[in-house]
Structure 1
Amino acid sequence: MTEPTIHVDPDRARRTVENYLNGLESADFDLVLSCFADDVFYSHPPYQAGEPLAEAVGKQDLEKLIRQRRGGRGWIHEIDGLLISGDRCVLETTVREYEGGPVRSTSVGLGTFNADGLLTRWVALRSAPPVGSSVGLA
């Protein structure tokens, strides 16, 4: 693996990730889109059972994807961990149906930032049932 050539301010990267999650939770898709570079690659598990992966190349495709396929949901993302190093981040979340509600899933997001602190790549992975549920931890 090559060393990152861009070192993004960790506070700026954290704000980008938090804005992304806040935008998803409030269905503020303009806020979501403001977190991504024009040339973004985005990959997310299917939004509904039986659908293909939710993937987009470029901000215009991402806008279409989140407005038409994802839409608004009341899910809450609790950040369990966020590691930022150089131009990369790893995000671990617990996703609840609603504030204080039952756990829906756990997820991991892998991101790459440009020099402006915008995401150029976002790959999300999800576990449902949640990680740890078979041993009573979720």
Structure 2
Amino acid sequence: MPHLAHIALVVRDYDEALAFYVGKLGFELVEDSYQPAQDKRWVIIRPPGTPVGATTILLARASTPEQVARVGDQVGGRVSFFLATDDFARDHARFTAAGVTWVRAPADQPYGRVAVFADLYGNLWDLIEYAAGHPAAGATRR
């Protein structure tokens, strides 16, 4: 059966994106390969603890004016990425200490505890610990 292998995140620069996602958030670098025919890099990252074979993030450097215009606003200002955790307090504190910018404070919702942060480009991310019994709660891996 097909599965979702990667999602593309349009970035301005590979190295600055890696500094944020790997350096600040603690994501793992899966692959960073130069593609000479296209003069680009194939850069794949994943949150720590993500199983091999699970969906990863492909950092895609913007290379046209249309792509540059989308950096930081791929989905019109909505939260576009959802980072599930099994320990909200731990990861919220770790991200705060790393200098992550929070745009919505932690709040308890029927589906779990959530806060929203902006990445270095302004894309919005949920940090979420799903409530026990929520259908997505079993998807949290650490």
* TM-score for both structures, normalised by structure 1: 0.27
Q: Which has the larger radius of gyration?
A: 2
TM-score (norm 2): 0.27
Higher normalized helix content (fraction of residues): 1
